[in-house]
Structure 1
Amino acid sequence: MIEEDARVARHPVTDAEARRANRGWWDGDADNYQAEHGAFLGEVDFVWCPEGLREADARLLGDVAGRRVLEVGCGAASAARWLAKEGADTVAMDLSAGMLRHAVAAAEASGVRVPLLQADGLALPFRDGVFDVACTAFGAVPFVADSGP
C-alpha cells in the first residue's frame, strides 16, 4: 500500500533494499561524517550518541574486563577500542566499508586494534552465545524498520 500526500510518498521496503540504501549512504558519507563527528567521538572513547554520555562515566555495560563484547554498527570503532582498553575481548562490526576504513585508520593512529567485520546488523554472522554483551552506541537501531529481531 502506498500512502501519498502532496509532499511525501511512502512505500514499504524489504530488508535487502534498506541494506543497500544504508550501505550506499554510509559508504558515500563516511568521510563527511568523520570530519564532522570524529573529534567528538574520539579515537578510543565510548560515547553513547547523540546524548554525549560517556561509558567511562555511566558504566551502563558494567565491568567489561574479560567479557566478549560485540559492537554493532561500530562506525569508526572508537567504542570498540575503548572496550578493548578496558579489557574486553571485542569485535566491531559495521555495514559500511567506508566507516570501517576510518576504523582501520584510527586503529593505526591509536595503536588499539580490534577485529573488524563488515556485516549487517539484521543478519549477525555469529552463533547465539558467542558474546556476553552486544551493544550499539548509535549504530544499527535507527536504520532498520524493525529492530526487535
Structure 2
Amino acid sequence: MKKFALLVSCSLLGACANFGSQPPVPITSPVVQAFRDICLQTAPSFAEAHRVARQHGITEMTDMGFATIGFNADKSLSIQVKVSHECVVTSEPQQDATLTSQLLTAAAVNAGTTVPRKTPAKMMIAGQPFILMHDRDGGEAFLMLKPE
C-alpha cells in the first residue's frame, strides 16, 4: 500500500510540475523563425539584430533616434529594435492558429525553460528578465522587452 501511495504521490507531483505548460510545437512559420533569429538569439543586447535581420530580407533600416526600424522589400516583414531594451518583428496577418505556441516554443528553447500556455509571458533569457507577447490585432506582432 505504501508503494501505491508513493506512486500516486509521484504521479501527482509530476503532473503539477507540468501544470501551466504545453508540449513544444514545430516552428514552421517564417515570421516566428525571423523573430527567433533576430530577437531571441541576439538577446539580451540585440546588438546583432540588424545584421541578422538582413538575412531575413530586411534591408531598409532607419535610425529613428528612439529605435531602429526596418522593412523587407515588399513591407510584409518589419522589425523595431531598441538596443538592450526591446525587439519586435511584425508581419501581415497569418492564417495559423499555432503562431503563439510556436513563439513560446522558440522562447523556451532560448530560455532553457518550460513553455507557458499563453502570452504575455515573463521569461529569463541569458539571465535577464523579458516579457514576450504576441499581438494579432491588424497583423502579427511578436515582441520581447525588458520590464522597466
Identify whether the pair has TM-score above 0.5, normalized to the shorter chain: no
TM-score, scaled relative to structure 2:
0.30
TM-score, scaled relative to structure 1:
0.30
More helix by share: 1
More strand by share: 2
Q: Which has the larger radius of gyration?
A: 2
